Chain A
Amino acid sequence: MTVTDLASQLNLKPLAGLEGAHNEVTSCYAGDLLSWVMGRAKEGSVWLTVMGNINAVAVATLADCACIVLTENAPLDEDARIRADMQNVPIYSTEYNAFEMSVKIAALLNS
């Protein structure tokens, strides 16, 4: 499943980096501590977080996350949006929290 497919099925709101939306989604990881996430998220993960800053974009790039989903409508910083567009890191937002989003993504990945 691509990021685009996932985003449309879950009604995610696109915020940045959509050139990377063809990335393949294979897993999901939730967390807000950057080093913790970088050391543990698998390649191809949808990353659920409230960290909408420029460092989160760097972590998503380096750890090969498929996309970032900002849960509970957490805000995206302007410099992070610009960096995400430059580096093609797709970022979306959702009103759901990390648990609710994880359940929905698990259902999609298992279907």
Chain B
Amino acid sequence: MAGLRLTYDIPSADDDFTRAGEASGSVKKKLRQIGYNPEAIRKVSIAMYEGEINVAIHAGGGEAIVEISSDAVTMKLIDHGPGIADVEKAMQEGWSTAPEAVRNLGFGAGMGLPNMKKYTDSMDIETEVGKGTTITMVVKA
């Protein structure tokens, strides 16, 4: 299977939170059409949605680049938000900096990054305070 590259704009939660989940939904649909392994699809969907929500809530939006090959799905989430000051803390289950408004919608469980790690085969975080964050996740087929 030839590689496939998909790119998405992720809007800020402040502008349009109803669109949050569109990119992950689209990737899931595409993987289903291709006939990708269902377990890998579920892992990609969960990890990608968490990443998308993080970018929308914490970074004022950003971009997602998804590369699909027969071996793996690579998801890159790029934002120019505030960066993650303490990655180790952010990786702890239950630790969250989500604002009250999104907590009321059911977010802010502090499970975003832990879920992304749990459902991917590798996750790499490059972050700089004040500059932004790029997270690269790979799910093997």
Decide if A and B are genuine partners.
yes
A residues whose Cβ falls under 8 Å from a Cβ of B: 32-36, 38-39, 43, 51, 53-56, 58-59, 61-64, 79, 87
Q: Which residues of A contact B118 (CB under 8 A)?
A: 39
Which residues between 104 and 129 of chain B lie within 8 Å of chain A, taking CB atoms? Answer: 105-112, 114-115, 118-119
Given A34-B109, A36-B109, A63-B42, are A58 and B20 also a contact pair (CB < 8 Å)? Answer: yes
Given A32-B106, A35-B107, A35-B115, are A58 and B21 also a contact pair (CB < 8 Å)? Answer: yes
Are the C-beta atoms of B18 and A36 separated by less than 8 Å?
A: no
Closest 8 CB pairs of A and B: A58-B21, A35-B111, A33-B109, A62-B45, A39-B115, A34-B106, A35-B109, A51-B106
Are the C-beta atoms of B107 and A34 separated by less than 8 Å?
A: yes
Of the candidates B46, B53, B107, B108, the one whose C-beta lies within 8 Å of that of A63 is B46
Which residue of the partner chain B has the closest CB to A61?
Answer: B25
Q: A33-B107, A35-B112, A55-B107 given. 16 additional CB < 8 A pairs?
A: A32-B106, A33-B108, A35-B107, A35-B109, A35-B110, A38-B46, A38-B50, A39-B118, A39-B119, A55-B21, A55-B105, A58-B21, A61-B21, A61-B25, A62-B21, A62-B46
A-B contact count (CB 8 A): 67
A-side interface mostly: helix
Does B76 sit at the interface, judged by CB under 8 A? no
Q: Which residues of A contact B134 (CB under 8 A)?
A: none
Are the C-beta atoms of A79 and B18 separated by less than 8 Å?
A: yes
Q: How far is the CA of A59 from the CA of B52 in the complex (A)?
A: 12
Shortest C-beta distance, A108 to chain B (Å), equals 25
Which residues between 1 and 31 of chain B lie within 8 Å of chain A, taking CB atoms? Answer: 17-18, 20-21, 24-25, 28
